[in-house]
Structure 1
């Protein structure tokens, strides 16, 4: 038998062995006699799913939030599955999410282990992905006074937000067809300035490229299911970690080639993360050494007599600001453009309000927010219509628990179906319709539930930068609508319908076409006067 065939045989045997162990791990019930929560059982009628693989065949391949929503009609507010030995709890109601993740936050605040993306590459040190403990509490405490309050955002960062949004307006005049990338660049430039005091003067800026590469890597290596080592519980035992890591990249006759490619890939991804973590931080330190630097999160914290240990936390704090704010804000603004393309009547109402409050001779700013209720309702509807993270970030239960008469094992991965809650007809009238009016109290009606209660997470892992995100989104939406009309593309007299499709762990609309033009000659002059 050749060495290659021997390796292939060992791989197949190893996979089978790991599946058996995973199944045994998944069957352990502890001491409780309560039943598991309801969920798909599989034709074998075993405790949850098929032998060895559990509910793998029940899991959707795409748009999982839609499948989870359908399961609510069958199984109720929470659904329990076993995926290759990993217990998974899908929460489909706000009441259940609050009862578990908020009221029992001390045992539901952990994150899953990401063996490859986390421990091998290093993303497990990022705030949003870190296991819950002193490190998370310390970083949240560091970030909160900088971007976690309305007053901090308005007094320290409104100027940066408005400056970078004005640059976006200029770019949209000359390159409207590139609006998706222009939004990404503008948001990235805003957060680089807030986190590091770094000013982006060119869309091709190398630091923007480093940041975008870092976020692309992050989404790839933390996407559930991309690596075998992240799926099977026994794979997370340290003694078999190296074997499983190889196994993630090995496939039969191409074993040696894939192993080589895998090790190279890990090294490259580590280098990308190292650049993303250290290059902007080094920039801040060099600027501070000269005595000339812009105010930023990093410069504020470095000025506080920081120790080497503090500096490491500051590095990851800056990265957390970018990681938590960049792609999420991009998601909302891209979805906003899509909504304006699809719903011109909504756009006209928002523009009429802006014209009435702001007028035609200046751009709106953050100080106008309280006088623009329809615009605020429009922003809320975008958040509800296309939630940034449709299933929220996963939580992990650190102790066994019981809820509503059911047993939930320690180590269960918990997902909140945010999309399902935000499209629940028991909470939102006509949930599939885009209706900002649902959030207004006009004519004495009671506004429907604020989507911020769902879309920004729960409990001790709720997003610490909500105020900064809201300010960035408000300024961008207000400025764009005040000077541009967004509409469907017309070619040769034929209207081109935009694609309405959302993809990704952080949801983004699939690339679509739209027309973005200045509302008037006066609007164009107002934009160009910004140069």
Structure 2
């Protein structure tokens, strides 16, 4: 009896192993991936990807080419390392390359299933994107700003970044089968639930304040008001939690990406001061050498060089060192490669930006490279998926860059040179580098103080 049972167990195990081997053979015959990076059994390359991954991606692209494939705990992630393949796959084939990986921790637990950047290509995603597109584009993108949750948001964006890009932080997002364990055994869940609970409570507090202002007729025009007005008029169907996450997502995206980009612009001005002096002289021609007024968005047509500065800022050191992964929703074939549905794709932003085949002298901060016919198209020349808030982000960076360059001289600190390649720009709680800021004159100091006092006195 016992030997028979032993034979039966061995037969079951053998059948299971045989089935795995046959399935793998069939899979390998049907599909073909770009250069596959060797990894460890089971976990694959999970321990190989650092955070942030910018310069790692540059080295990997040099070694493995225009596209390479990682195994992240059984999930296949294809890195795209040129603007050519990014355009061909993520843009021209966006209809099947625009979904997101299933992330039970980040998306469902930490974000209540309502954070758009983590959603799959679903009706809920399309609904939120439609809302954001209607709010963020057109003239209103130049007029509406909302500061309500800024300090709170900047305090947790680093956490979101780590959980998004560091597979060690969120095991259930790598091995998604872990989410089927009984809840008491999901050791990562308490942190995620507390994170979501804290954030929804904070957002709800601000939401209630805004509703009270709207009821009293004293709410200022802003994105959040547009979301609530649209929902009230049944322009779109959206739950209360989604309302909260929709407008806080707008603030999250606009505040953090703008902050990082402005830091990178400042580093570029310190490391390559020639272009900054040129920009200052051009702004002087419009706003006066004696600090008559700050530049504003109405000056853009007279200051095309500042628009080129914005584009070069986004090119020189992309604020996302590697893109948030997208998921293929159906089998696809490209240049001899065959990808199964579920394959993940990310673009290698740093390797593209620093490639001399993409840009001449790519290490330099050189706005002149964008003084061409594509100047008025913020996304043209950058290998990033088109963001629904692109216009707002570009406007924010433009006005911040123009005002900083107009009012300050920026220099490197000789004792603390800026590491242009390995700086953790995304860290929100401490300065990423040291730099010398000097007001140009007392008149500029007075102008900054006057405008600052007006901003502080404004009731939002």
1:397 to 325, 328, 338: 328
Match of 2:438 among 513, 517, 526: 517
Q: 2:141 aligns with which of 126, 142, 153?
A: 153
Matched, 1:99 2:127: no
Aligned residue number for residue 487 of structure 1: 411
Q: Give the Cα–Cα distance (whole angstroms) in 1 for the partners of residues 22 and 165 of structure 2.
A: 22
1:230-379 map, 5 Å:
230-235=173-178, 238-240=179-181, 242=183, 245-246=186-187, 263=190, 265-304=191-230, 305-306=232-233, 309=238, 311-360=240-289, 361-379=292-310
Are the equivalent residues in 2 in contact too, given 1:114–1:222 (CA < 8 A)? no
Local SS of the residue matching 2:186? helix
The offset of 1:81, in angstroms, is 2.2
Residue 381 (structure 1) aligned to one of 300, 312, 318? 312
Q: Which runs of 5+ in 2 are unaligned?
A: 1-12, 454-460
| Aligned counterpart, 2:45 | 55
* 2:32 is the counterpart of 1:36: yes
Structure-2 separation of matches of 1:219 and 1:128: 12
CA positional deviation for 1:74: 4.2
1:468 and 2:392 correspond: yes
Superposed CA deviations along residues 385-410 of structure 1, whole A, max 9, x for unmatched, are 11011211110112222211112122
CA shift, 1:428, in A, is 0.5
Aligned to 2:160: 218
| TM-score between the two structures when normalised by the length of structure 2 | 0.83
Q: Deviations over 1:255-311 (max 9, x none)?
A: xxxxxxx63x33431222212431221111011111211111222332343468454
| Cα-to-partner distance string for 1:217-257 (whole Å, 9 max, x where unaligned) | 4334333311211112533xx533747732x5xxxxxxxxx
The secondary structure found in structure 2 opposite 1:128 is: helix
Aligned residue in 2 for 1:498: 418
> What corresponds to 1:160 in structure 2?
none
Query: Which one is further off, 356-365 or 23-32?
Result: 23-32
Question: Unaligned regions of 5+ residues in structure 1, if any?
Answer: 1-16, 43-48, 158-189, 193-197, 199-206, 249-261
Residue of structure 1 in register with 2:8 after alignment:
none
- What SS class does the counterpart of residue 424 from structure 1 fall into? coil
Distance change in 2, residues 1:334/1:503 (3 Å): same
Query: 1:522 Cα shift?
Result: 2.0
Distance 2:312 2:136 in 1: 23
Match of 2:355 in 1: 424
Any conservation in 1 of the 2:272–2:364 contact (CA below 8 Å)?
A: no
Contact 1:333/1:477, CA 8 A, preserved across alignment: yes
Q: Superposition RMSD on alpha carbons, in Å?
A: 3.3
Q: How many angstroms does 1:31 deviate by?
A: 6.3
Moved more, 331-340 or 73-82: 73-82
CA–CA separation in structure 1 for the residues paired with 2:176 and 2:213: 46
Change (3 A) 1:109 1:505: farther
3-state DSSP class of the match of 2:338?
strand
Partner-residue secondary structure (3-state), 1:33: helix
Corresponding position of 1:118:
107
Show the counterpart of 1:254. Answer: none
Q: Structure 1 residues 374, 412: CA separation in 2 closer, same or farther (over 3 Å shift)? A: same
The 1-side partners of 2:96 and 2:427 are apart by 25
Cα pair 2:261 2:397 within 8 Å, conserved: yes
Alignment partner, residue 170 of structure 2? 227
Checking the alignment, whether the CA contact within 8 Å between 2:271 and 2:411 is kept in structure 1 is yes
Name the structure 1 match of 2:57: 68
Q: Secondary structure at the match of 1:303?
A: helix
C-alpha deviation, 1:374, in angstroms: 1.9
Tell me the residue number matched to 1:440: 371
